[in-house]
A and B are shown apart, each in its own frame.
Chain A
């Protein structure tokens, strides 16, 4: 027999916690978070650096500090949590199957579901890096977990592939641990993470950032002995003759996050190829009624503050759905990524209510203007793919502009790249 709950949240990272809190605050009686890890907080317990909460709390916090604030609130609101419990199935009628050592085999039938499963990191295989298969190749996030949570070091001399935030943060962390980071290697002409991290984690520690380079070979039998790094051309193909050997005993890969949507797929949730996450409306409802989504499972955020806000919206909507049995899909207007825009979330809006649009540009540039239909123009000194652009659009303005069917978002560059 399936257990009844009002709102079930899958994943207890910052998104899941915020969604659960919002659902309780909006009046859902029984809110349950299901989390496969041993503790609450998702990625945050391993992010012991600062830079969290500047927007949400107006104060610079570490990951664990940020997480504690949310866990405290969730507990005082009586949010239930099942830890070390893995959701293994979700169907289109919101039926959840989960398993754990403690509770065995479980079935839930919630009034509404919030997907908050976060992301996974892109691994070596997905990048197709040629070479041998020794020990000492891992993703930056796995290394972060080893170093910050488990207390182990995978090696003493590193090359980091990819200048995502995790990679840059790990470059600094490993240096502080007494290891040598030979280089951070980035295939694109610009860094993949926040400027803040480039300055604080690489420049301040004298760690070289090689732009327009990539790892083209991994050497070593039992463990990594070095990697070959090559320059790439405009099509990002390695240029023959530019190979350089970097001796190291560890290669960390920080080449992007992929929203974790296996369960979403099982439930028939439509995914946006541009974000890798579910297509959602302004209430963060997916195409499957009663299934909502928030946080990195929807789109890879660079700041946790936005994760919390987005998930709160999902949690509130889920509570409303669970309460009334439905929540009208806000799919009146489709938001379409136009010139130099990689994606916009949400993909659908009602066209009548105020809404916050999250988007990323494809290419960086100076003096950019982002145009939302005929409704809104905003100028930026610089835009970069690694920094999410967030715009509030007024419902009134959309109504006045007579937006119907589509809302196209463009980014025009007046300066060069």
Chain B
């Protein structure tokens, strides 16, 4: 196995690793980003509701918390970042609502605090006015505080864009590369992966769900992570008009996140049902699904399980549970020099641009020379989204490349042109295509386009269709040819 050398090794291409890699690509540093999955953003980042918080929506954003600092640092950065990377960023605004007037006091406190922090001013609307602005909300809602600054992004798109841009600016990306062990030397780390050894001067541990495991490899695990499983449901696009903003009910119990969120695509998400769990197991359960829908109905009674087209679970990895479930850390290990841990249980997406700057500060302080990369180009252009274009733009696109006239996914109106472009930019699996240009995310969930996307993938990658996978590994959609079982005499028992 080959031995590779790099100055900075980032473990994990989630939103935090990606943001850090992209930030580092501004400088003349040799950076390698390793990710065990076949694609980027498929860890916790994928199981997300995409809210860009402003750090003022709960009282727990206390200025003395590290998390709050990172978030506030990130606050002004996200929108310009999305603009540079051509990633959809949608200001939807949020209503933080109450179902019980005794909670009004808490809303007032939040409003006062927002003002005192110089974060603008929020308006309180009693039910009748709220109802005018969001006509589908439950009559049991008493009122709500409007936060105009809340926005949504698609965390996987953001991560892909960050990585794409980082790579364009010189970062080395190694997919399907799993860190198995690390040895900390005096001047360098020897990192053993399934693809050989990597020598690195700095290690940035952004392994999400597995941050503590990676830290334990060098005894930098002087913290405990509490995995809290979160369930999110996705509603059919037919339900889009049920909510125009993020609608949340002020937690009635600790850890109770009851929200309905519009996505950048226009679907609504609802959840988040939280449950302490052992990690890794991302299965959804009937109980979580039921509670989530019951809660969502407390916000919008019209929401029905019939409109749920998908659901998923992910883990919020909390640290320092005892001071609230919020605190996080982006810091160099107190025990292991040049080893930086990044843990943000929530909200890691929102905080990611701030967390990346934090890492740079740490590296700079440690003496890493950060000279500007003269070739750095902050811009990246997104894949055209046929479904969102005007007639004129559509015509022009088809004229340029007729494959944009071939609709492959009917539910989301995704064309062959977009799919081919997604593959060109690194999608190698059905999910890879789906998380770039959406075929299969609609109400038929790939029933119609699945076979067609598989065929395009096989053609573009030059592999047989039996080798096309859903998400890497042994996840082939059609592992066998017809007649194969008969010829092999299998299937008799």
Contact = CB atoms under 8 A, between A and B. Distances in A.
Interface of A: 36, 84, 86, 88, 97, 99-105, 120-121, 123-126, 128, 130-136, 138-139, 141-142, 145-147, 150-157, 177-180, 216-218, 222-223, 238, 262
Given A178-B485, A223-B475, A138 B447 contact: yes
Contacts of B286: 128, 130, 216, 238
B2 interface: no
A136 B284 CA distance: 17
B443 A126 contact: yes
A105 B394 contact: yes
Given A123-B444, A222-B471, A86 B407 contact: yes
Given A101-B406, A138-B477, A146-B478, 16 more contacts: A84-B406, A99-B405, A99-B407, A105-B405, A125-B234, A125-B309, A126-B443, A130-B283, A134-B475, A138-B446, A151-B482, A155-B480, A178-B490, A179-B485, A179-B491, A222-B474
Interface string B450-475: 11000100000000011001111111
What are the 10 A-B residue pairs with the smallest beta carbon separation, nearest first? A178-B485, A152-B478, A135-B475, A135-B470, A86-B407, A123-B445, A153-B480, A125-B310, A178-B491, A178-B486
A138 B450 contact: yes
Q: Describe A's contact surface by its main secondary structure.
A: mixed
A84 B281 CA distance: 42
Contacts of B485: 153, 156, 177-179
Interface stretch (B89-97, B181-189, B324-332, B396-404): B396-404
Nearest to B476: A135
Interface in B279-299: 281-286, 289
B493 interface: yes
Contacts of A157: 491
Contacts of A218: 283
Interface in B213-255: 234
Nearest to B487: A178
Contacts of A126: 306, 308-309, 443
A154 B478 contact: yes
Interface string B362-397: 000000000000000000000000000001001100
Contacts, number: 161
A231 to B, nearest CB: 15
B209 interface: no
A141 B445 CA distance: 13
Contacts of B398: 99, 104-105
B39 interface: no
B193 interface: no
Contacts of A177: 482-483, 485-486, 491
10 contacts: A99-B394, A104-B395, A123-B444, A124-B445, A128-B311, A156-B480, A178-B489, A179-B485, A180-B492, A218-B283
Nearest to B305: A128
A142 B478 CA distance: 11
B391 A36 contact: no
Contact of B447 (A123, A131, A136, A217): A123
A154 B479 contact: yes
A154 B477 CA distance: 6
Contacts of A262: 411
Nearest to B403: A101
Nearest to A38: B452
Nearest to B416: A101
A177 B407 CA distance: 32
Contacts of A88: 407, 413
A133 B435 CA distance: 15
A229 B289 CA distance: 18
B447 A142 contact: yes
Contacts of B308: 125-126, 128
A134 to B, nearest CB: 7
Nearest to A99: B405
